[in-house]
């Protein structure tokens, strides 16, 4: 077998010069995140109320059993591995959720996309692990301890708990994380000492390999590494030996970097149906945090996103959100969704949330901005427009501009806010208030009245135009009523009727 | 022009009254003053002035009457016009024209009619800074006003809220402080009787070709007699060709 020969050759190459670094960049440092509770957390993170007992069930040997449970269920005496029926007997109100390995994998992928904000190299180690190469980003995040604290806090905000391990080689970092060994190992030379005492079961080997090594009377990694490697390779196959050597960094261990998809989509199943806005926003916030991490990783902002609320037994409600300025500000997005959700009437309780985005736009990195996210009048103005539009609808928010038309009601028009161009100012006197449509005035002896006779102060101004569509022939006057309000009135030429058209407010 | 002026142009403002003289005398002459002022039960006039400045109204006679010499920024100003068409908007135009030269919005929320663009432009307001918001539901007017005041994106917010109670007004006042906006609330005259946290409250009544502005309340000052603003001053009137020429040459 060619691979056997090449590994043996590689091995002999290294064994000749054991202290030579194995093709590793000396500044590389790997941080592994291990998510031991992923099966539970994909459900539990959607729930704001931790008091509801949750059970995740799987089928083993044809029997339903408890695969994972939350603290509320554990307090009632439920332990993993217990028959589901027995566990349910211990609980009154609770939820049983099927183990969903596909959803766990999807969650791990989204975590990888989110983790891209900390490093350019993230790789997936299913079912429960991630590897982050952090050698290059330590300085940026203010050192290992600062990075770890930040990861821990942000993961908690996402609803995940992770164990971390740090080592100069990926496999060692992974094993340290799984073992809950949180002291970072920074030197490759220290790896055999730290990991040497690990039992065979903790080395990430398959059961057959563990059994074979045990059959040889071995218990720990250190004992394996002391054996002549030629013989080990022959007896166990080259893969097992290569695995053992990768743990201590004697063989290169290239990892495929995860590449996040060009569009974001995240689905959250709510373990208990929800109909309160606050509970929905709690779950939505967790999705938004995933989204903004993903956006930071891609150096992008979002300008269009969609939240679907799934209901049992009726079609999903869809909320679409368009933004003027692309953003990745979690609080702003949450506030916009809040303004959309609050007046929204749910047709039925919600059992699933899906957040999707298209239209990503490049957005510069905040790290390059000295004082964090910039809040210029421009972005503040756009954020206000987004907020108002989200709640009131786009047709309730306008700007206005002057139109070159002699008909007063057509001498202006709505436009997008901020888009009006400076135009020539009319040289005639105009009122500050214009009525939506002219209001007929009472008449006494052909003279206009409004709570008494109107006193004409100025006019007439003949406006005669628009014969090509809606012809207008009017004589406009400035009038004052008895309470000193100044009005803008006109007499229609056609029927000699008087109308009120505006106020000199 | 029968503009009534106060007798004393040198009436000290509230600040001057309470300001301590410069400590030319040795400090032991006022023992314990600082300690006294630290006491929580001692109330000091003008202890809290959150507003960040004043914008001249553009009417010198009115500016003289207002404690800061203009519209208070970062605060609410309530206007109680007895009816529409008496020059209630024209009163604000000089300030709005000035504010519209900046980057921030001038928001109109729930206006009773269309603010007429040609007249606004003639008054010198840059239309590109106008933000017209017409919420369908009455309760959304209050919400939109608060958002606009708080956002920091509005230089001025003109709002016609639907019967706000004192709590709602307090929220708007806080929002204006936070966003540094001038909040002009247009309210029916009968609402003037109720208490309000607004920094400035003015009733507007028409006189014979004038607008009579009476200060009901102003933070950091006291109400004096009414101000009579001639109507042609407050009104937007097209500039004559002469005036325009003069402006161009300036």
The string of pLDDT tens digits covering residues A75-117 is 999 999 999 999 999 999 999 999 999 999 999 999 999 999 9
Query: What pLDDT sits at residue B5?
Result: 38
Share of chain B above pLDDT 70, in %: 71
Distances (CA, A) of B142 to A337, B89, B146, B163: 19, 20, 6, 9
Lowest mean pLDDT among A152-166, A246-260, B45-59: B45-59
**A185-204 pLDDT tens trace:** 999 999 999 999 999 999 99
**A457-478 pLDDT tens trace:** 887 888 888 667 677 889 999 9
Query: What pLDDT sits at residue B41?
Result: 63
Query: What pLDDT sits at residue B37?
Result: 63
What is the pLDDT of chain A when averaged over all its residues? Answer: 87
Pairing of strands A472-480, A486-492: antiparallel
Query: What pLDDT sits at residue B220?
Result: 77
Question: Searching chain A, which residue's CA lies closest to the CA of residue B239?
Answer: A427
Share of chain B above pLDDT 90, in %: 48
A395 or B184: which carries more pLDDT confidence?
B184
Among candidates B133, B235, B236 on the partner chain, residue whose Cβ is nearest the Cβ of A397: B133
Bond into A460 cis (ω within 30): yes
Query: What pLDDT sits at residue B39?
Result: 63
Is the pLDDT at A344 greater than 60? The verdict is: yes
Confidence band of B33 (pLDDT split at 50, 70, 90): low
Is the pLDDT at B232 greater than 70? The verdict is: no
Whether A411 has its CB under 8 Å from any CB of chain B: the answer is yes
Contact A383 B151 (CB under 8 A): yes
Mean pLDDT of B166-184: 93
Confidence band of B183 (pLDDT split at 50, 70, 90): very high
Instruction: Show the tokens assigned to A245.
Output: 């050597």
Contact A432 B123 (CB under 8 A): yes
Query: What pLDDT sits at residue B68?
Result: 82
| DSSP-based three-state secondary structure for A479 | strand
**B102-137 pLDDT tens trace:** 989 999 999 999 999 999 999 999 999 999 999 988
Beta-carbon contacts of B25 under 8 Å, excluding residues fewer than 6 positions away, are none
Instruction: Show the tokens assigned to A249.
Output: 């960094």
Query: What pLDDT sits at residue B17?
Result: 32
Exposure string over A139-159, b if 16+ CB within 10 A, otherwise e: eebeeeeebbeebeebbeebb
Among candidates A400, A434, A481 on the partner chain, residue whose Cβ is nearest the Cβ of B113: A434
Is the pLDDT at B25 greater than 80? The verdict is: no
CB < 8 Å to A505, chain B: 84-90, 113
Share of chain A above pLDDT 70, in %: 91
**A217-274 pLDDT tens trace:** 999 999 999 999 888 889 888 899 999 999 999 999 999 999 999 999 999 999 999 9
* Chain B: closest CA distance from residue A42 (Å): 36
Confidence band of A339 (pLDDT split at 50, 70, 90): confident
Among candidates B116, B144, B151 on the partner chain, residue whose Cβ is nearest the Cβ of A433: B116
Residues 416 to 455 of A: which have CB under 8 A from any B CB?
417-423, 425-436
Contact A399 B132 (CB under 8 A): yes
Chain CA centroid to CA B65, Å:
12
Is the pLDDT at A170 greater than 70? The verdict is: yes
Distances (CA, A) of B152 to A25, A312, B57, B94: 50, 42, 21, 21
Mean pLDDT of A421-427: 75
* Chain B: closest CA distance from residue A390 (Å): 11
* Chain B: closest CA distance from residue A389 (Å): 10
What is the pLDDT of chain B when averaged over all its residues? Answer: 78
Is the pLDDT at B46 greater than 60? The verdict is: no
CB < 8 Å to B104, chain A: 377, 381
CB < 8 Å to A390, chain B: none
CB < 8 Å to A427, chain B: 238, 241
Mean pLDDT of A299-308: 91
CB < 8 Å to A504, chain B: 85, 87, 90, 235
CB < 8 Å to B129, chain A: 418
Mean pLDDT of A331-344: 89
| DSSP-based three-state secondary structure for A298 | helix
Contact A484 B112 (CB under 8 A): no
Residue A18 to residue A3: CA distance in whole angstroms: 22
Q: Which residue has the tokens 């009968």?
A: B190
Residue B39 to residue B33: CA distance in whole angstroms: 10
Among candidates A417, A436, A486 on the partner chain, residue whose Cβ is nearest the Cβ of B114: A436
Q: The whole model's pTM is what?
A: 0.66
- How many alpha carbons fall within 13 Å on the CB side of residue B72? 26
Contact A380 B83 (CB under 8 A): no
Residue A28 to residue A168: CA distance in whole angstroms: 6
Residue A82 to residue A72: CA distance in whole angstroms: 16
Query: What pLDDT sits at residue A35?
Result: 96
**B81-91 pLDDT tens trace:** 998 999 999 99
Contact B127 A388 (CB under 8 A): no
Residue A442 to residue A452: CA distance in whole angstroms: 9
Nearest to A408 by CA among A505, A503, A481: A503
**A430-442 pLDDT tens trace:** 999 999 999 999 9
Give one word for B3, left, alpha or beta, with left for phi > 0 and alpha for psi -120 to 50: beta
**A262-289 pLDDT tens trace:** 999 999 999 999 989 999 999 999 999 9
Strand order of the β-sheet with A265-274 is: A265-274, A350-362, A300-311, A314-327
Contact A391 B104 (CB under 8 A): no
Residue B107 to residue B130: CA distance in whole angstroms: 6
Whether A388 has its CB under 8 Å from any CB of chain B: the answer is yes
Contact A430 B112 (CB under 8 A): no
Nearest to A476 by CA among A484, A486, A488, A465: A488
Nearest to B123 by CA among B75, B158, B87: B87
């Amino acid at each position: 077998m060619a691979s056997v020969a090449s590994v043996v050759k590689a091995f002999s190459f290294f064994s000749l010069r054991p202290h030579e670094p194995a093709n590793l960049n000396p500044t590389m440092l790997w941080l592994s995140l291990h998510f031991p509770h992923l099966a539970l957390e994909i459900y539990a993170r959607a729930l704001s109320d931790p008091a509801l007992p949750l059970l995740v069930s799987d089928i083993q040997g044809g029997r339903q059993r408890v695969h994972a449970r939350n603290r509320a269920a554990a307090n009632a005496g439920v332990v993993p591995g217990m028959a589901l029926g027995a566990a349910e007997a211990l609980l009154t109100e609770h939820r049983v959720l099927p183990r969903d390995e596909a959803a766990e994998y999807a969650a791990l992928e989204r975590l990888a996309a989110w983790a891209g904000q900390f490093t350019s190299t993230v790789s997936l180690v299913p079912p429960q692990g991630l590897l982050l190469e952090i050698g290059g980003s330590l300085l940026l995040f203010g050192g290992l301890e600062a990075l770890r604290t930040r990861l821990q806090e942000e993961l908690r905000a996402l609803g995940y708990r992770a164990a971390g391990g740090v080592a100069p080689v990926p496999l060692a970092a992974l094993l340290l994380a799984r073992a809950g060994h949180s002291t970072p190992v920074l030197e490759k030379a220290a790896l055999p000492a730290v990991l040497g005492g690990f039992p065979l079961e903790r080395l990430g080997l398959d059961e057959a390999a563990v059994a074979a090594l045990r059959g040889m009377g071995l218990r720990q990694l250190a004992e394996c590494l002391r054996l002549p490697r030629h013989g080990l390779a022959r007896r166990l196959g080259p893969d097992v030996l290569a695995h053992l050597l990768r743990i201590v960094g004697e063989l290169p261990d290239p990892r495929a970097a995860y590449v996040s998809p060009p569009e974001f989509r995240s689905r959250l199943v709510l373990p208990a149906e929800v109909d309160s806005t606050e509970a929905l926003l709690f779950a939505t916030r967790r999705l938004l945090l995933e989204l903004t991490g993903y956006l930071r990783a891609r150096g992008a902002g979002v300008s269009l996103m969609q939240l679907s609320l799934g209901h049992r037994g009726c079609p999903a409600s869809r909320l679409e959100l368009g933004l003027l300025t692309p953003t990745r500000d979690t609080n702003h997005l949450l506030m916009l969704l809040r303004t959309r959700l609050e007046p929204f009437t749910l047709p039925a309780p919600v059992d699933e949330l899906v957040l999707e985005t298209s239209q990503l736009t490049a957005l510069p990195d905040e790290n390059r901005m000295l004082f964090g996210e910039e809040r210029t009048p421009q972005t503040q103005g756009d954020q206000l427009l987004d907020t108002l539009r989200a709640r009131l609808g786009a047709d309730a928010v306008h700007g206005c501009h002057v139109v070159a038309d002699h008909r007063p009601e057509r001498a202006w028009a709505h436009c997008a806010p901020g888009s009006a161009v400076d135009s020539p100012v009319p040289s005639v006197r105009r009122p500050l208030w214009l009525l939506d449509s002219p209001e007929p005035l009472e008449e006494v002896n052909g003279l206009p009245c409004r709570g008494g006779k109107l006193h004409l102060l100025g006019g007439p101004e003949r406006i005669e135009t628009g014969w090509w569509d809606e012809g207008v022939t009017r004589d406009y006057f400035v009038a004052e009523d008895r309470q000193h309000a100044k009005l803008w009135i006109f007499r229609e030429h056609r029927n000699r009727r008087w109308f009120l058209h505006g106020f000199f407010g | 022009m029968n503009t009534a002026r106060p007798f004393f142009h040198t009436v000290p403002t509230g600040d001057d009254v309470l300001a301590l003289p410069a400590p030319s005398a040795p400090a032991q002459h006022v023992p314990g003053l600082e300690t006294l002022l630290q006491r929580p039960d001692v109330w000091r006039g003008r202890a809290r002035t959150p507003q960040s400045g004043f914008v001249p109204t553009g009417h010198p006679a009115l500016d003289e009457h207002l404690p800061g010499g203009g519209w208070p920024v970062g605060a609410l100003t309530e206007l109680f016009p007895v009816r529409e068409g008496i020059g209630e908007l024209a009163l604000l135009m000089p300030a709005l024209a000035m504010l519209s030269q900046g980057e921030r919005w001038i928001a109109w929320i729930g206006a009773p009619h269309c603010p007429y663009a040609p007249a606004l432009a003639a008054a010198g307001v840059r239309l590109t800074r106008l933000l017209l918001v017409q919420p369908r539901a009455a309760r959304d007017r209050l919400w939109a006003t608060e958002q606009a005041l708080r956002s920091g994106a509005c230089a001025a917010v003109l709002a016609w809220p639907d019967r706000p109670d004192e709590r709602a007004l307090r929220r708007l006042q806080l929002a204006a402080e936070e966003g540094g906006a001038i909040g002009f609330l247009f309210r029916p005259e009968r609402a003037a009787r109720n208490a309000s946290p607004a920094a400035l409250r003015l009733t507007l009544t028409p006189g014979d070709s004038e607008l009579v502005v009476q200060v009901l309340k102003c933070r950091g000052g006291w109400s004096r007699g009414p101000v009579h603003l001639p109507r042609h001053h407050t009104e937007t009137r097209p500039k004559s060709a002469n005036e325009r020429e003069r402006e161009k040459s300036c």
